[in-house]
């Protein structure tokens, strides 16, 4: 009976050590990942501070959605002149404009014998 209890004890000790090592490695990995991005978090804190200052101290109450949309658009346009953010309404409008359908008079344009 002693042999079984010794086996169970050492199995428990090994599993506890494995669980402890896994926990330590995960905490270390998480800490190192966040410390590498600390500059990004500082910049996001600055953005949040500016946003709150504008919301609380600006002469007129600004539209929060417009502020966020403009900030995102500014971030993307800083990458290159062809990158831009479209909010859902602008995206739907763009889809309608670029769908390629014409409406109005009901005229159909076709090509016959290479001539339009």
Predicted confidence at residue 46, as pLDDT, reads 93
Asked if the structure places residue 73 within a domain, the reply is yes
Number of structural domains found in the chain = 2
Instruction: Name the more confident of 15 and 76.
Output: 76
Q: Look at residues 44, 46, 90, 53 and name the one whose alpha carbon lies nearest to residue 69.
A: 90
Cα Rg of the chain, angstroms: 31
Residue 2, domain extent: 1-36
Whether residues 4 and 29 fall in one domain: yes
Q: Look at residues 56, 60, 59, 55 and name the one whose alpha carbon lies nearest to residue 71.
A: 55
Q: Indicate if the pLDDT at residue 53 is higher than 90.
A: yes
Asked if the structure places residue 96 within a domain, the reply is no
Whether residues 54 and 43 fall in one domain: yes
The pLDDT tens digits for 10-49 are 777 676 666 666 776 776 666 655 566 788 989 999 999 9
Task: Give CA angle at 34 (75, 38), nearest 5°.
Answer: 55
Of 20-24, 56-60, 72-76, minimum mean pLDDT range: 20-24
Q: How far apart are CA 114 and CA 116, in angstroms?
A: 7
Spatial contact of 54 and 67, defined as CB atoms under 8 Å apart: yes
Q: How far is CA 41 from the centre of its chain?
A: 14
Whether residues 51 and 82 fall in one domain: yes
């Amino acid at each position: 009976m002693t042999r079984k209890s010794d086996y169970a004890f050492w199995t428990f000790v090994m599993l506890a050590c494995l669980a402890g090592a896994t926990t330590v490695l995960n905490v270390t990995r998480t800490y190192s990942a966040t410390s590498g991005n600390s500059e990004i978090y500082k910049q996001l804190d600055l953005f949040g501070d500016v946003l709150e200052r504008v919301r609380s101290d600006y002469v007129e109450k600004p539209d929060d959605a417009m502020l966020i949309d403009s900030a995102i658009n500014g971030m993307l346009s800083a990458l290159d002149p062809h990158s831009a953010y479209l909010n859902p309404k602008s995206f739907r409008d763009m889809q309608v404009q670029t769908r390629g359908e014409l409406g109005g008079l009901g005229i159909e344009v076709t090509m016959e014998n290479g001539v339009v």
